[in-house]
A and B are shown apart, each in its own frame.
Chain A
Amino acid sequence: MSLLAQGAEMARRSVLQTLRQPAMVIPPIAFPLILMAVNVGGLQAATDLPGFPTDSYLDFAIAFPFIQGSLFAAINAGSSLARDVETGFLARLALTPMQRAALLLGNLAGVMTVSLISAGIYLAVGFAAGLRFEAGAPGVLVLLVLALIISLAFASLGALIGLRTGSGETVQGVFPLFFVLVFLSSNALPRELIEQDWFRAIATVNPVSYLFEGLRSLVIFGWDAEALALGFGFASAIALAGVLGSASALRTRLVRT
């Protein structure tokens, strides 16, 4: 069996595992949409601030569900691998001729599939609510690609934690830290409109700000090369670090077993 076929089999397992548990499907779709709806309603008045880049807070806030959905991808990926460690599935798998990479690739592919479905739903809800997309149809495709890389980035970090600790509880415990990163960014206002200097400084060094701004640029400005380069750059760098770290953690975990 080739690496691809093995990876596909593991991805199928990962997708089925996720789809069979409503608690792993509904929150990643519903929570980000609820929070976006609340923020759009509550912060529409912020578009009256001088310098706010759009007159619709929905256009500004549509990036939020993609990032928050990615956090859920991190938790799902991490919890799933931690459960495989806890239940001994990984140890039994180590006795088979299966290639190690297939486990990681399959798990991440499964999580990404769910992320792609979620992204489609976020966009559909956004358009139904009156989202205007400056970059047009090609921009939608670019946004989906960026959203998937961001999901991969967070999912690989979740996988890294799940494999390193082998504890689903620890993976859940790390969720608030990711949440802090999201809130201490330019998620609610453009960085130049953040009034407090210390908060703006944190948002400027926080890579999550650039993920928001990359996604948002396609909706509000059309094709902004700098925002896209930073968005893709940070997302790819985090994804690369996460995948390499996870691969290393998997090697260590299988040596231990």
Chain B
Amino acid sequence: MKRFADVAGAVAWRSIHRFVTKPQFLLPSLIFPLFFFTAFAGGLSNVSNVPGFDFPSGYTAFQFVFVLLQASAFGGVFTGFSIASDFESGFARRMLLAAPNRLGILAGYGLAALARAGIVGPLLFGVALATGMQVDGGGADLFGLVVLALLVNVAALLWAAGVAMRLRTIQAGPAMQMPVFVLLFLAPVYVPLELLSGWIEAVARLNPFTALVEGGRDLISGGDVRGVLLYGVALALLALFAVWGVRGLRRAEAAG
């Protein structure tokens, strides 16, 4: 166990150090969520006047939840880019040789992804509150929202890690990013599920991310949260991508 923790700690420290000391990694992670929040909450706020739109906490809170979960997911995916980059440079192969417990490598990248979310999330919260976001949920609801964002972050990291460790090149970036992007945007992004129509409504109803974003909105507005569904879906995604990520690690080990 100590070996596992040592490896995880070392990998996490290196990844976090790289992330916070290199502006080219840090700035996009900070700027993009803020930009999406500005574009969606600012540019589309009139959408809340559409007949049938009845989210009690207002459009800023409505969009905040989506952008928070999106930023968490992309924090995980961007950490996957680092894994691919480490494989391309040969560093990851040397890590595989040196690490007494290789699962610790995956756990270390997971901690790094959590650290990214831990930097971006509070910044996003701060900006949203400063711009007048209405929060009707209580402390427990907000804690639940934070837990949800962290679960999404680690699930996305495990997805991206599985791809990165199978393909072992930074050119796999679109393969990590695009499925996540499509999954996120095929949920009720701009209006509640009830106001969607046509093919996107059918797809959104089947999309597991819909349960997460709608549950997150219930949390921030203090609505009735279907906790079993919300955290059940989040944990199921986490378990699924954990298997995917660990199998990816085994593939990387086998490739030498």
A38-B186, A41-B199 known; A189 and B46 CB under 8 Å?
A: yes
Q: Which of A34, A195, A196 contacts B182 (CB 8 A)?
A: A34
Interface size of A as a range: 20 to 34
**A130 CB, min distance to chain B CBs, angstroms:** 11
Q: Which of A35, A38, A46 contacts B47 (CB 8 A)?
A: A46
**B241 CB, min distance to chain A CBs, angstroms:** 22
Q: Which of A27, A195, A203 contacts B45 (CB 8 A)?
A: A195
Tell me whether A180 and B35 are in contact (CB under 8 A). yes
Tell me whether A45 and B43 are in contact (CB under 8 A). no
Tell me whether A196 and B43 are in contact (CB under 8 A). yes
Q: Which residues on B sit within 8 Å (CB–CB) of A49?
A: 46-47, 49-50
Question: Please, what's the 1-or-0 string for A77-100, where 1 marks a CB less than 8 Å from any CB in chain B?
Answer: 000000000000000000000000
CB of A24 closer than 8 Å to a CB of B: no
CB of A230 closer than 8 Å to a CB of B: no
**B82-90, B147-155, B188-196 - interface stretch:** B188-196
A45-B50, A173-B24 known; A188 and B43 CB under 8 Å?
A: yes
A38-B189, A184-B39, A188-B43 known; A44 and B197 CB under 8 Å?
A: yes
> Which of chain B's residues 23-56 have a Cβ closer than 8 Å to chain A?
24, 28, 31-32, 35-36, 38-39, 42-47, 49-53
CB of B13 closer than 8 Å to a CB of A: no
Considering only CB atoms, which chain A residue lies closest to B199 in the complex?
Answer: A41
Considering only CB atoms, which chain A residue lies closest to B184 in the complex?
Answer: A38
Question: Please, what's the 1-or-0 string for A4-28, where 1 marks a CB less than 8 Å from any CB in chain B?
Answer: 0000000000000000000100010
Tell me whether A188 and B200 are in contact (CB under 8 A). no
Q: Which residues on A sit within 8 Å (CB–CB) of B53?
A: 45
**B79 CB, min distance to chain A CBs, angstroms:** 19
Q: Which residues on B sit within 8 Å (CB–CB) of A39?
A: 190
CB of B174 closer than 8 Å to a CB of A: yes
Q: Which residues on B sit within 8 Å (CB–CB) of A43?
A: 44, 47, 190-191
Q: Which residues on A sit within 8 Å (CB–CB) of B182?
A: 34
CB of A240 closer than 8 Å to a CB of B: no
> Which of chain A's residues 156-200 have a Cβ closer than 8 Å to chain B?
173, 176, 180, 183-184, 188-189, 193-196, 198-199
CB of B198 closer than 8 Å to a CB of A: yes
Q: Which residues on A sit within 8 Å (CB–CB) of B203?
A: 41
CB of A48 closer than 8 Å to a CB of B: yes
A-B contact pairs, 9 of them (CB 8 A): A42-B190, A42-B191, A45-B191, A45-B196, A46-B50, A46-B191, A183-B39, A184-B38, A196-B42
Chain A: residues with CB nearer than 8 A to chain B?
23, 27, 34-35, 37-39, 41-46, 48-49, 173, 176, 180, 183-184, 188-189, 193-196, 198-199, 203
Chain B: residues with CB nearer than 8 A to chain A?
24, 28, 31-32, 35-36, 38-39, 42-47, 49-53, 171, 174, 182, 185-186, 188-191, 195-201, 203
| 3 interchain residue pairs of minimum CB distance | A41-B200, A195-B46, A183-B39
| Further pairs besides A42-B191, A46-B50, A196-B42: 5, Cβ < 8 Å | A38-B186, A38-B200, A43-B191, A48-B51, A199-B42
